[in-house]
Structure 1
């Protein structure tokens, strides 16, 4: 790429990511119509509005106001008083670039991105840089959370040019929107030099830039449309993927790779799904180490609950202090799954604390979930979260202070700029043993300490919170809350999930269209693929725990709309949006990042909907999409792991508490309750109206009876004294004699005993696979006999 010889790649890459007064530097004043709009938007902010800029009058008024004051994105309005002539994403900016024959500078970030704030302070608030940028470029600012399709396309271009990506994303485009150069964070001296070199190249040799933009955009489009037709789905591909991932876990410090260290939730969710299927072995040791050390490290907020986005070191100690809703949703999901598999109460404790943090700190008055909180407080990274020993002693009693200082390794020297990020050098159970106190007493005392420190911390100036409610992330959070309601047996989480589901439908579904963003009482931005996919799955999860058919009906409405609007009928798979929206290509979300890819979530949602509705069209579409996009090897394994999770689901079915059969007419689940030392297995079956299953005993030959038993591959347990409900005698048109059947809601019970003769009984996980065999019929037909494997937690 010729222009790269003219522009040295010397940028610093950080992975991540009152009334209108003066004209912006370098350009003519805005026209009267736009100026009136800006004045009106400013006045609407109210008298307590504080412009976020260093360019202020003595009265605190902003010297500059640009078009971003008209936007409803918290990230964009953060930049509304930069001296840069920012445009939001849309046709207006590119039409002006074509008209004035100027290249485009595209800056993409999000409201709680630390390095986005740094680049704003250093470059976008600088009058000299702003003047040059305004004179010679069209500057566009994009909120990646509102336009993930735009972010996906240009991020790929940046990675191709620079070798890595992150935010802020800084891209340079031809007037038609095709990229020719890109980077992430750029220091101000390098940024102005880069602007000058691109400007001079554009004036002297524009054909070089245009040639490179054509080549780079063509390469991006080719990669976006890449597909691999697979002749078959093979189980060993799934196991090879799992083995490959496990081999990359660090056995000492946990996690994948080196600092900066991200949880990599999609990989964890995949591995836990695979482990859930095999109850004859414990959770992988290195995976358990990862979960333990993350929950003990500073990446986990030991006082307030919830996870920070990533750790800056190799041992999970010092975090980058942002808290994203998607991290809370995914990691709560991870720890809930781990608790199901292992029965370790600490995993339940971490999940509960994280979800309680979301319900208290990241939930709107209407019941929606906010997007994120910033890393900075009072302009200082992490200030809100760190402590000194004297602060602890001032707040707590002597006994509690001594415990907290010792337990959380709080020192005078500190571990973060002279202060302390709280962490647990050893697990709570190990600490209790070392201190000769009971685990129960220790956790009681810690909960008391946490409550006092949280109340004092609330008096500090908190980090900025991004209050927009994003459909995809809210859908993800609803799914996690429904899981928590079951696993932790806590109705608070069920109620919160139902409330959020109703809010999203009420506020973001309008006139046959779904919207992505809810903020300040208004919806905006047409929903993208991930919005549809996550919300469909959330509606199905609500249907599972609530039983209200309206959730199921809504999920089918959205699934049909998702397929009609986003599916690529030529190459297969789903586009991220149903329109190019000024983009140079039509991107597809194929690769995992911090989130599972949009295509993988869509496939999983369709597969689950097929099980509940009995409509083969949904599973056919899921299989068709997966065949089109699933990689045929483990190249880029971390980017495609969620597609393998979808593959596992399509081959082997769900691993959750609820299982569906008979085209959705039968819903079954299993639970284990202990009463006076005896473990009672309860299998609950719900049948839809006009359907029945055959009773356990029948007087008619060749009728498949309903039966419950322990999976033969699990010799560690045996089921005794199984009792079945009283049957109903029904006369059907296809039989001469009455048939004994079960209808409606039934419960089957038995006593679960350990098989003392089984080998390695201690070396297994906490799940007990229970099989229910049945044949479902209605008055017109009988379906083929089925077996559902239910997984009950001890």
Structure 2
């Protein structure tokens, strides 16, 4: 037995490096070995923070007898879905086609050419052993049927991921219909959409915020406000350290699946930041600040990047770090504060979680409470946090994923610009430097790095889109032309290597490793689709650069996903949000000033900008900043120019005048 995962950079693969399984990493060598031995391939896909991946590992992959069965009859390949989303996408489509559902761990049996013929997710040990025996027998005795099944599955997933479907312009009517449909599907009691498990609908909330800005719809704003409050008060939000868990196992946001993912928190940081921007809601402002702090304190790496996730488990027990009993609260806080905290956090003797323990929830409004109550709240939280930090902590997947760091940079930059927070401004720039210096190699992106070393997997479309959008955000934050230039390089590479003939995009490059099909999924799921991420970057870059060809590419790509926005808006939230920016203009706000950080015009622009607007501030004719070209000051004073499609309103020098212009755009 030779386990080949010991030299992997992926924390998930390293978790399996000591298994009694002859694991191979994904690569041509593994499939060549399967052909040489004339055995099928077993592809196991998961990620480091996945609870049921750990369970299957403990039950099956750490078992000597199961390992022997796998080694004798298969070539076993372990895949980190976060490193190889292209591989995951192909085989997840196959799994969903065969079983009607998907998830991780994903277990796929394939021919030595990679064609899947049997797929599933988690299997208990006894079932897994029977499955290994059945597949082995079928491969030996019914080879032709197995191969026909594999060919049929490949044909099915090729059709599911094919580009070239109907296209139509993304119109006002489609976006208004999408907002109405979201309102019809909304959980009016608990917020969000659907039942259990319930996931934070961050991209739908971003869309609804922009829809409200364009239309003034009170319904769209209320859906966001209600959901944001329900999540922030629920157990899905870490009431002590900030940051959101991946999802709640119930419909009420009470008990989370405790893993914390970078991408969820990056997208939710944008939601709460913009909700605060539009409403001044104190809860939203606090949660935005705490979520930003969690990104930096909980996920920051020494090199300046942001780690992927915190595990769902602590020493094999889910939620062990986070749950409390009334007795534990009294032990830390004393009887009086312990009883007060139990009432505030809804910790009861019955418990909301397991073994009589509860996940902390926030029962009452604190943000607008009496100062003495706020002081007590902060003191109690600090003592509980200190006590919790003494408990065993969940492990951290510390690889740096390009697209997720891009999402976080955009969120941090927006938070910094809207709130004047110097800490998040510094963090946005520092993480952007990691992406520029580590992940950009010869003009192309690499998907992952760890401990400062870049990995081999090539960037996929979502990496190019999210990182280019991040560079555009840092360009606006700093006024430095370098970042716009880097964004343009990435977008040019994406247009060259990922474009499809109908205006859409593939998820993998034309010179990437060939899989059994070339994935092209336009729907937004846990993260923005590659297409949505790229369209967001193209739209912003076009506004910042004044180059209309990038906007034309964005509109053509949106036309390929518009039919899905029209019918299934819950799965196209980011595309719809970008559509709002496109329909808005997006507006270009250029502010000529000697002191961008302290200029009231800059603050007014960030607080009152229309959906998706770009804002750049700096000296006139600043190098590498097209929006500031040929923009003089009026009478020596800081001057704001509001433009859309190369047509500008009259320049203004007062913050009140600028706000009046922007509010007029929004129809207020």
Mark the CA change 1:669 to 1:247 in structure 2 (over 3 Å): closer, same or farther: farther
Q: Secondary structure at the match of 2:24?
A: strand
For the Cα contact (< 8 Å) 1:311–1:317, is it kept in 2?
yes
1:644, distance to aligned residue in structure 2 (A) = 2.5
Q: Secondary structure at the match of 2:505?
A: coil
Q: Secondary structure at the match of 1:68?
A: coil
Tell me what 1:419 maps to.
357
Take 1:425 and 1:627, find their aligned partners in 2: how far apart are those partners? 45
For the Cα contact (< 8 Å) 2:589–2:605, is it kept in 1?
no
- Match for residue 564 of structure 1 among 487, 491, 496: 496
Take 1:691 and 1:592, find their aligned partners in 2: how far apart are those partners? 37
Determine if the alignment matches structure 1 residue 379 to structure 2 residue 316: yes
Tell me what 1:468 maps to.
399
Deviates more, 1:358-367 or 1:683-692: 683-692
Q: How does 1:164-203 map to 2 (within 5 A)?
A: 164-203=101-140
Mark the CA change 1:577 to 1:791 in structure 2 (over 3 Å): closer, same or farther: farther
Q: Secondary structure at the match of 1:750?
A: helix
Return the structure number with greater helix share.
2
For the Cα contact (< 8 Å) 1:591–1:640, is it kept in 2?
yes
For the Cα contact (< 8 Å) 1:603–1:625, is it kept in 2?
yes
For the Cα contact (< 8 Å) 2:163–2:502, is it kept in 1?
no
Tell me what 1:522 maps to.
453
Q: How does 1:279-678 map to 2 (within 5 A)?
A: 279=216, 281=218, 284-396=221-333, 398-417=335-354, 418-428=356-366, 438-524=369-455, 525-569=457-501, 572-631=504-563, 634-654=566-586, 659=589, 671=604
1:513, distance to aligned residue in structure 2 (A) = 3.0
For the Cα contact (< 8 Å) 2:40–2:110, is it kept in 1?
yes
Take 2:298 and 2:430, find their aligned partners in 1: how far apart are those partners? 16
Deviations along 1:177-225, one digit per CA (max 9) or x if unpaired, are: 0111211111111111111111111111111111111111111112211
Mark the CA change 1:574 to 1:559 in structure 2 (over 3 Å): closer, same or farther: same
1:580, distance to aligned residue in structure 2 (A) = 5.0
**Number of residue-to-residue matches in the alignment:** 640
For the Cα contact (< 8 Å) 1:693–1:706, is it kept in 2?
no
Determine if the alignment matches structure 1 residue 266 to structure 2 residue 199: no
1:632, distance to aligned residue in structure 2 (A) = 5.6
Mark the CA change 1:286 to 1:231 in structure 2 (over 3 Å): closer, same or farther: closer
Take 2:505 and 2:399, find their aligned partners in 1: how far apart are those partners? 29
Take 2:509 and 2:81, find their aligned partners in 1: how far apart are those partners? 14
Q: Pick the structure with greater CA Rg.
A: 1
Take 1:486 and 1:311, find their aligned partners in 2: how far apart are those partners? 31
For the Cα contact (< 8 Å) 2:503–2:556, is it kept in 1?
no
| Structure 2 length-normalised TM | 0.89
Q: How does 1:764-775 map to 2 (within 5 A)?
A: 770-771=661-662
Question: Larger relative contact order (C-alpha < 8 A, sep ≥ 6)?
Answer: 2
- Match for residue 688 of structure 1 among 621, 624, 643: 621
For the Cα contact (< 8 Å) 1:659–1:790, is it kept in 2?
no
Deviations along 1:33-78, one digit per CA (max 9) or x if unpaired, are: xxxxxxxxxxxxxxxxxxxxxxxxxxxxxxxxx1011211100010
1:571, distance to aligned residue in structure 2 (A) = 6.7
Deviations along 1:556-587, one digit per CA (max 9) or x if unpaired, are: 11111121122224673233344452510111
- Match for residue 165 of structure 2 among 228, 238, 254: 228
Q: Secondary structure at the match of 1:134?
A: helix
Q: Secondary structure at the match of 2:520?
A: coil
For the Cα contact (< 8 Å) 2:532–2:574, is it kept in 1?
yes
Take 2:181 and 2:204, find their aligned partners in 1: how far apart are those partners? 11
Structure 2: give runs of 5+ residues left out of the alignment. Answer: 593-598, 608-614, 623-627, 644-648
Q: Secondary structure at the match of 1:770?
A: helix
Mark the CA change 1:71 to 1:585 in structure 2 (over 3 Å): closer, same or farther: same
Return the structure number with greater strand share.
1
For the Cα contact (< 8 Å) 1:265–1:331, is it kept in 2?
yes
Tell me what 1:250 maps to.
187
For the Cα contact (< 8 Å) 1:412–1:419, is it kept in 2?
yes
1:279, distance to aligned residue in structure 2 (A) = 4.1
